Amino acid sequence: MIEVSKLDFDLLIPKEIIDQKVVNLAKEIDNFYTSNNTNPVPIIIMDGAFIFAADLLRHMTLDLNPVFTKISSYSGIHQEKIIQFKETDFTFLQNQSVLIIEDILDSGNTMTAFLELIKKFGINDIKICSLLVKPEILRKDVKVDWFGFEISPLFVIGYGMDYNGYGRGLADIYQLHID
């Protein structure tokens, strides 16, 4: 157990397991796009997905030019009702294939709102890769094409994910400790 910003967290997924899953995901994604003779534009959802995306892209052989966008929907450990997008003009993606790289898909509200936003720009194809999925609380019908792990609804930190800015740099993934 570790303490981050006065909250206790238990180890959920060790770094070695994460690393192996990222390598496997990179191979699957590479194979898919190579067999379809497509070079997607990766959209990395900041801030939480930056470590996952960096590791994933380093293990891929495709020549990729990633784009970064910031979406915020959390305050502390609670998801906000208002989703905020830093960028809203994605005209440069017209006629492109897109690979969205996300850290965690929980309710699906944020991803649904983002998909509604970018679909307006004439994108050929959109695929989603999320490191974590919380199927028990998924409220929206979001198709995740590749994912690393299904986890419980408990709040998680580490490997890019944070609690009020803390815990992002942890190599392992931890979940909120419940007594």
Beta strands at 146-150 and 156-157: parallel, antiparallel or unpaired: unpaired
Establish whether 162 is a catalytic residue.
no
Q: Is the separation of the CB atoms in 173 and 157 below 8 Å?
A: yes
Helix 15-35 with 50-58: angle, nearest 10 deg: 60
Calpha distance 67→114 (Å, rounded):
14
Amino acid at 45: I
Helix, strand, coil percent content, the chain, rounded in steps of 5: 25, 35, 35
Residue 144: both structure tokens together: 């995740």
Structure tokens given for 7: 């909250």
Q: Which of 55, 103, 106, 162 is catalytic?
A: 106
Describe the strand order of the beta sheet including 2-4 as a list of residue ranges: 2-4, 7-13, 173-176, 156-157
For the chain, state the CA radius of gyration: 16
Q: Point out the residues that are catalytic.
A: 106
